[in-house]
A and B are shown apart, each in its own frame.
Chain A
């Protein structure tokens, strides 16, 4: 029994020890769990803090981004107010440039775009531009150039298609023909000049009892009368630059005695230069007899002979309407077309936008402005120019230019023959006319050479 009690007591002690150990272990575990809970709470708290910090940081970054965007927006606004300077290239220098600059001033005032003017003649540009374009560059944003050249380079992708920038209805009929390929327009028409006929000094005619002719016979008589005046070298001064003043005279004879349609046919290449209507009617019957009779002077540098004509060494001078800006007293100028003339050559100054411009929008603005009534009104008021935009009133012209503009009334306005065809034809045409002027006996060879390069 006692042994039994001893076993039970041992078991109780063991149970107590196990229970105490379990309890201790439980308490320890619970304590650890409690500590863990505290740590978790702390961690949670830290995470909350971190989240708050992150949120705060995100707010700060967001604010910074807002600030950056704000700064960028401001910069864009400043950039918008800082307009680029665009470059326009034209052929005018001296007095002609002085007459063009007010147009650019007007554009700057209206659009707030700065414009720099550079002077390059078309011949210089013909050398300069191909290399620039090949490199994808351009020396100007709006460039004045030959019409045929613009069309040719438009087809090759160097010139911007401006069909949507102009409305042909606002311009003289056919003005855009030289710069069109199919229905695509590559160039804009600025003002132009008329080649109305033979200019004379009113004072010279009055002093010598001369009057403008109304028939071919009267014209021949007039030339004979002028030739008889003491001190006269030749009745007509033949200006020569690269041959173009001679080509203007020739075209005037073609239009008058072959008719306006012949001029169009020769441009289109549907009539041969050696055909009777050209060779016989125009050259053999009209122009060549005057050359043979010595009524025309030898070709001489056109500005030099202009002065000599003005000084009375010659009686008549064939020139375009820009002559009004080149003489001392434009009011002393008179002009007549060959009797029976039904058409006049009008030469517009054409401009284009190169594909490679870095200021496309501004270039378009200037391009459209130059074609506008506003710009052309400013230009014609300076003298020497005739508007291509039909909305420019005759009242805007100086008196002498109004007289020239009036000459076109009732006459067909025609394109310049050699300017429209251009290329090898133009150079050959000029050179052959230089030859004809001093050797009229070589008419057949001259016409054959022209025909060889004609369209």
Chain B
């Protein structure tokens, strides 16, 4: 009997723990949702009215928006969460977070279903995997969805009608690398030229590259081609031409695992790595391991924190360029979702959802780094954001009837190093 009692006690304890954790969660999530109870009132999908009729500003409804990130934590994710939370009161939005996977459609669908079950009115999603079934779920539950940091290229090329033409998909702000709007190769080339101008005595004349697989980031391959083309054009008139090693399938395509040290034997003469793939996580550790971080420079996308110790003239000076997407670019899907939830639309809103390339914060010098270190991306302080909560509210069609879609697109173009306060 003792044993039986023990076992029931164990069940009871597990139950109590679950309920208490649930209670903690629900008390938090109830914040700001008490008001008008908008979950179902405006979710018919037909409630959008012409902006012409929408001449008076309207107070936004309380709502909940789920954000499905690509990872749970990290500088960019933490900063984005901090930025969103800072806007919670002004926008009357409660944010909920979850993490998606890069490889399992069914797991992503389950995560989205959990968000919908938890009562979200809209979802911002950073992953294009299983989107057709996710859109079907959103349609069934009358929940709107938008994209962030993702070009939705799989859906764009193979399921455009199901995803981009769905009235539940509001569009996406990609991380500056839409395959049909590639600029990253030119940006990398410009950074290299800028470095050489600053270092005329020891310019970089031989570079190699690194990319993620084309199935995951087709724009990186296109960016690499663009970079090579820019160098070839430059070499026509340059006094000191630059040599670019062609991409080597074996060593230069990083399958989301750290670069192999054989890279350096394949590119024995390289003076700099132009990494379109996230170099801080996948290239730099290998450079340190191979002991080449003092000799080879790194130009790369991403900033995970810690790069500043070896950036520009600091430390080993390995990093000579970092490129990131501003966290404020999340305002694009956020504003479009809020409009949908509040039943309004911009007068110049396109009929079909779009994918818009966000401008990039390019850090080329010590001065740029100092500026970047004052951005919300780095400080995680919402007060450092380029756009305040009031600015974002003003971008919506319900709070500001004269707001336009063109303005929202312009916002994405104004998220550069020069725009940081």
Q: Do A and B come together as binding partners?
A: no
